[in-house]
Amino acid sequence: MSVSRRGFIKLLGAGTACLGLSKLGIDLTPTQAYAAGLKIEGAKESISICPFCACCCNVLVHAKDGKIINVEGDPDYPVSGGGLCAKGAALKSLHMSPERLTKPLYRAPGSAKWVEKDWDWMMERIARRIKDQRDRDFMPKNAEGAVANRLESVFHLGSSQVSNEEAAVLHQMIRAFGIVHFDHQARICHSPSVPALAECFGRGAMTNHFADLANSDAVLIMGSNCAEHHPMTFKWIIKAKEKGAYVMHVDPKFSRTSARSNLHVPIRSGTDIAMLGGMIKYILENKKFFAEFVVNYTNASFLVGEKYSFKDGMFSGFDAAKKKYDKSQWAFEKDSQGLVKRDKTLAHPRCVINVMRDHYSRYDLETVSSVTGVSKADLLKVYETFSATGKPDKAGAFVYALGWTQHSVGVQNIRMSGLIQQLLGNVGVAGGGIAALRGEPNVQGTTDHALLYGYLPGYHNMPTTNFPALDDYLKANTPKSADPMSVNWWQNRPKYIVSLLKSWYGENATKENDFGYSYVPKLDPGQDCSHLYIFDRMYKDKIKGGFCFGHNPCQSIPNSHKVRKAWDKLDWLVMGDVFHNETTDNWRRPGVDPKKCKTEIFLLPSAYRAEKAGTVSNSGRWQMWHYKAAEPLGKSRSMGEMFVEMMNRVRDLYKKEGGAFPDPITKADYPAAFDAEAVARRVNGYFTKDVEVGGKLYKKGQLVPGFPNLKADGSTTSMCWVYCGGYTEEAGNLAKRRDLTQTPMQAKIHLYPKFAWVWPMDRRILYNRASVDVNGKPYNPEKAVIAWENGKWVGDVPDGGQPPMAMKGGVYPFIMHTEGHSQLFGPGREDGPFPEHYEPAETPITTNPFSAQMSNPCMKVIKSDMDELAKNGDPRFPIVLTTYSLTEHWCSGSETRNGPALLEAEPQQYVEMSPQLAKEKGVSNGDVVIVESLRGKTEAVAMVTVRIKPFTIMGKTVHLVGMPFCFGWTKPKCGDTTNRVTVSVGDPNTSIPEYKACLVNLHKAKKVTEL
């Protein structure tokens, strides 16, 4: 028998204990010789996962004598095929870096130095700090006297760096403490993806997966430079191009993505809705939409209620004092049965598609071109090419990242792609959908586990004070549908909430005590506890202490002068990280006297990715296990261990001393020690008693086989329902699967159904029921995702197992939406049912040609003496600044700036500008310049390049400059963060800051270091 390397590894259990293979009748001799030749002599090989972008490239880590000696790409990972970008290639040097934090460090108030302490001393003191602060400030009731049970004076920030298992125990601990100022990197990178994609299709995740991009006939990349920032994604786009796909890159600057695309279209930052509004007009006027799909599967035929209107940039129902809409005015018209009225002929003037046509009738080529700076020829080329995919046998994909999310219209930017994909029928099909290129290593998983103030794990709204009892909460958050053809999956929410509470409070969660619902803190309705507000409240002395793990906000949050001052005001801080960064060492930043900083700081050294086990989820929702290759360096520990010890120490104090509302802490069912495998089982969930489900008996303590088996009666647990089904009694931990086998149907579309595990229920392409007609026949049989054959579905796991729509018992394809249809008209977002073009909060122009409303009327604007906004067309700041990442550095650069090779490749802060602007400013390539805004100044080296061109906007020349956002003052010793100049303004739905467009000016520095 011959066994491939891949097969051999699989048989070995992917680097774990060797089975007795000879006992299975397999002759190992030739295989061992082959595999031995591939390995490093004497080294243990383990599979780990790159801790940078959410491509989540699998890596092989070789360790000898307990030390990591080599890291290389894993050829078996379908996404990368063994490839790594510069950051992944630097993993060994980063893991073994002498700059690593290896010992717990303590900084006393007013001290100018770190002092080494042991873990026991640190943990004891941290637990005391937490308890004292909690006892002092716990709020049993809010200002109106409603039960709140929350703690506002303590925050937690981070982290997308943690595994799913670490996120699960972290979330449980934070809620037990009552902390509501709770946020992580998802807020500032992809928070708009969830409400935007969910409003369109029902779930907030990337619709397809990376390899699926190879199936596209046209790829429209907007708001992403994926060749540089998600390189392993881009290879699938190139595969599509090699097969004849047309690839378009719409982006303010020319980059490596542009270079490999068929067309680069420069656009003024912040005008994507205008450009895509023009595409909707083009599709509707030229009848390019996929009519059968639009009528059957979208809400195009739904009648919008008579209260809805749109006038001069404003939708009906606006309350100017509150800066909020009354969304009930956007409701659909219903009949006496409670069913939405429809006109499938699409003739009724209040049909969604006609309301939409009216809305975008203003987005003509002339106006769109003058606002965006895109030539009419380029607009038409993009519109024609992409809308040509509105046919059954064609597919087009949108690809986006932070270039779309980080705007005051971030959610509506993404909604725009959802509208177009619905019109063209590019949903659920191979090569279609919307690729939300997630940023940080596990930001998908940590969003699923809701390290975010407004959600509980699994996408449930955080309870609020107007829902004092569980029943009130469930009634308000569980939709009902009168339509028998609508699956309305969220009707199951009570099962997921009760299972979550049971997993948090075990035996102490009973029907009589609402399963411990009162232990969960309650926000006031509308209370915003996201990053911008946390720092504003910290600056205003309302927050006293907190936690920051795997996060660098003093570098990465806008208006960093204010953020850093706010950080100075804390009484105590607990931080966990791999390296020092601008946040850990804020107290000794340039120009600051450490003696004046009163903060007591506990800095805990964290294990790095290859030093711990657990799962992470890539952007395509693949949950994958990474193994521990070596012991953590020095005295570092995994964050999971830190969280569990902190919680248990605080619990011990409460048990001993009592204190403010101890029950959420003392009654928690919490692990005594962190074990990723055990937590993975908790995340999946158990039966709490013997239960019969569907004629099958499950015993107490058995793993729940999947979320359809979860119950609302307390007989099941699950720490995050979307992951239930990933760890079963029969198959074990499915995240460890490495099986690359496919059926011919799956191979045709690069579907790998047995590699790792994907939520929900191993479904690789979401909404795949929309890839077939009402009889279950694939629209494109050549690239079928699923098909109804002989009374059953074949192919991918169907998105709902019921028969196709036209068959007996058939259901609509969008099972997560109450009405079963995807939503062109979305009545649930804060700033309108249709995206509308508004200018960024700071804009170089003085009028908006689409309406009298200049900026998003609902955007969040932070107000303080350090938060100034330039007025429209402010002549002092005429230049638009956009920001971006680099291949060589990730996010704030706090890790990658410690890699000598990475730093050599990209050593310093720079500002890209056109030759025309450089000439105007008297700047030469390589000069040091000062970039300034109303918030502050920063230094950068001028990079004069034709990659950026001046725009002509409404007849006037507008310059744009671009700066990477990954540099800071700690290293290298030149330059500082771009965020010294950015704005504290946020999207109304998620409060993501507008990093991608603000107004600046620049001048040549008078000396090498002027600041």
Which spans of this chain sit near ligand SF4 (rule: CB under 6 A)?
50, 52-53, 55-57, 80, 84-85, 87-88, 231-232
Tokens 């303010």 belong to: 252
Give min distance, CB of 293 to ligand SF4, in A. Answer: 33
Report residue 512 as tokens. 């009589």
Which residue, 84 or 395, has its beta carbon nearer to ligand SF4?
84
CA pair distance 488, 818, nearest whole angstrom: 5
Minimal distance in Å, beta carbon 55 to ligand SF4? 4
Closest CA to 459 of 837, 280, 723: 723
| Residue whose CB is less far from ligand SF4, 611 or 976 | 611
C-beta closer to ligand SF4: residue 555 or 885: 885
Instruction: Return d(Cα 443, Cα 402) in angstroms, integer.
Output: 13
The conformation of residue 824, written as its DSSP 8-state character, comes to: S
Taking the complex as a whole, how short is the minimal distance between the CB of residue 87 and ligand SF4, in angstroms?
4
User: Do β-strands 879-884 and 960-964 pair in parallel, antiparallel, or remain unpaired?
Assistant: parallel
CB 35 within 8 A of CB 29: no
Determine the residue with CB nearest ligand SF4: 88
Amino acid at 606: S
CB of 86 to ligand SF4, least distance (A): 7
- Rounded Cα distance between 564 and 554, Å, is 6
Residues 6+ apart with CB under 8 A from 695: none
Min dist. Cβ of residue 48 to ligand SF4 (A): 11
Residues 6+ apart with CB under 8 A from 67: 96, 630
- Taking the complex as a whole, the smallest distance from the CB of residue 91 to ligand SF4 amounts, in Å, to 8
Angle between helices 493-505 and 470-477 (to 10 degrees): 140
Least distance (Å) between residue 255 CB and ligand SF4: 16
What is the C-alpha to C-alpha distance for residues 203 and 500, in angstroms, rounded to an integer? Answer: 19
User: Is the CB of 88 or the CB of 516 nearer to ligand SF4?
Assistant: 88
The least CB distance from residue 434 to ligand SF4, in Å, is 20
CB of 82 to ligand SF4, least distance (A): 11
Q: Which is nearer to ligand SF4, 51 or 305 (CB)?
A: 51
Kindly report whether the peptide bond that precedes residue 950 is cis, defined as omega within 30 degrees of 0: no
User: Distance (Å, rounded) from C-alpha 643 to C-alpha 173?
Assistant: 7
For residue 357, count other CB atoms closer than 10 A to its CB. Answer: 17
Between 784 and 891, whose beta carbon lies closer to ligand SF4? Answer: 891
Residue with smaller CB distance to ligand SF4, 56 or 554: 56
d(CA 255, CA 227): 8
Is the CB of 74 or the CB of 839 nearer to ligand SF4? 74
The residue assigned the tokens 């506002």 is 152
Secondary structure string (H, E, C) spanning 603-663: EEEECCHHHCCEEEECCCCEEEEECCCCCCCCCCECHHHHHHHHHHHHHHHHHHHCCCCCH
Q: How far is the CB of 446 from ligand SF4 (least distance, A)?
A: 16
Q: How far is the CB of 609 from ligand SF4 (least distance, A)?
A: 10
Residues 6+ away with beta carbon under 8 Å from 829: 195, 196, 199, 411, 412, 415, 989
Residue with smaller CB distance to ligand SF4, 48 or 530: 48
- Residue (442 or 684) nearer to ligand SF4, CB: 442
Least distance in angstroms from the C-beta of 235 to ligand SF4: 9
| Sign for the pseudo-dihedral over CA of 674, 680, 684, 689 | negative
The answer to whether 937 and 930 have CB atoms below 8 angstroms apart is: yes
Pick 518 or 618: Cβ nearer ligand SF4: 618
Rounded (5°) CA angle 179-890-56: 85
Which has the closest alpha carbon to 620: 437, 404, 813? Answer: 437
Q: How far is the CB of 238 from ligand SF4 (least distance, A)?
A: 14
Q: Which is nearer to ligand SF4, 84 or 379 (CB)?
A: 84
Between CA 380 and CA 237 the distance in angstroms is: 22
How would you classify the pairing of strands 179-183 and 147-157? parallel
- Least distance (Å) from ligand SF4 to the CB of residue 987? 26
Our CB check for ligand SF4 shows the closer of 359 and 612 to be 612
Give the closest residue to 892 by CA, choosing from 636, 563, 399, 626: 563
Q: Which is nearer to ligand SF4, 597 or 891 (CB)?
A: 891
Q: How far is the CB of 642 from ligand SF4 (least distance, A)?
A: 25
The partner residues of 693 in beta bridges, in order of sequence, read 696
Of 375, 436, 377, 424, the closest CA to residue 221 belongs to 436
Q: Give whichever of 126 and 232 is closer to ligand SF4, judged by the CB atom.
A: 232
Least separation in angstroms between CB 313 and ligand SF4: 40
Minimum CB distance to ligand SF4 smaller for 14 or for 57: 57
For ligand SF4, the closer CB: 84 or 703: 84
Distances in Å between the Cα of 153 and the Cα atoms of 148, 538, 547, 549, 647 are 14, 9, 12, 18, 18
Return the closest-CA partner of residue 783 out of 298, 243, 292. 243
**C-alpha–C-alpha distance, residues 677 and 683, integer Å:** 10
Determine the number of helices (DSSP H) and then strands (DSSP E) in the chain: 30, 41
| Closest distance of CB 438 from ligand SF4, Å | 10
Query: Is the distance from CB of 923 to CB of 891 less than 8 angstroms?
Result: no
The answer to whether the CB of 534 falls within 8 A of the CB of 841 is no
Cβ distance to ligand SF4 smaller for residue 235 or 407: 235
The CB-of-51 to ligand SF4 minimum distance in angstroms stands at 8
Map tokens 């009748």 to a residue: 25
